[in-house]
Amino acid sequence: MEVKIEDSWKKPLAPLFERPYFKQITSHLKTEKALNRTIYPKGSLIFNAFNKTPYDQVKVVLLGQDPYHQPGQAMGLSFSVSPECKIPPSLMNIYKELNKDIGMPIPTSGDLTHWATQGVLLLNSALTVRADEPGSHSKIGWTQFTDDLIQLLSKEKSDLVFILWGNYASQKQILIDATKHKILKAAHPSPLSAYNGFFGCKHFSATNQFLNQVKKDPIDWSI
């Protein structure tokens, strides 16, 4: 698998690309391709989160679990979909919370690139998925890769905001040094759980309040 990645990430990620799990990922994706299986997102977008948010600009890490598994949706950014796609239910709930939290009008596009270019690393735990099979690539090595990445960011940086929604993301808290970073946890924005603590979490205003405290530019959450 040829990795095209933004220059500032090359040095910090180089050791991860040399680990056995990354060779396993590469081998698995080559096998999937040989079997003519459809994988999302397309190859050029697998590392889109890194390419849109340079290493030296990361301020917030918003952790998702799996890329979208329907045609045309996945674009390599957690929770984000291509502009022409219908806004998925979880993202619509995120927008509803944004509206309640900071008064932002509900957007008509699900493309979160504007967040990414401001320093919000929209990171999925697995960076690929087989079409129509959610979680199908969660055990091919991606989880080890992104866990190591979270630990790297925690160790090498300071004053980041880690936004962890849902039980799966919340389990990653153990990888983060809470004495150096702000950790925000809530229920997942999925319609199945949003009313169990996601709505009303006010994570968007809390993120900007923290960034202001540490003398970093706040995020413009508009789309």
Given 7, 56, 66, 101, the catalytic residue: 66
107 neighbors 95 (Cβ within 8 angstroms): yes
64 neighbors 81 (Cβ within 8 angstroms): no
The residue type of 222 is S
Structure tokens that stand for 83 in this block: 């502009």
Q: Which of 116, 125, 175 is nearest to 146 (CA)?
A: 125
- Give the 3-state DSSP-derived string for the chain, with helices as H, strands as E and coil as C: CCCCCCHHHHHHHHHHHCCHHHHHHHHHHHHHHHCCCCEECCHHHCCHHHHHCCHHHCCEEEEECCCCCCCCCCCCCCCCCCCCCCCCHHHHHHHHHHHHHHCCCCCCCCCCHHHHCCCEEEEECCCCEECCECCCCHHHHHHHHHHHHHHHHHHHCCCCEEEEEHHHHHHHHHHCCCCCCEEEEECCCCCCCHHHCCCCCCHHHHHHHHHHHCCCCCCCCCC
Active site residue 217: no
Active-site residues, by number, are 66
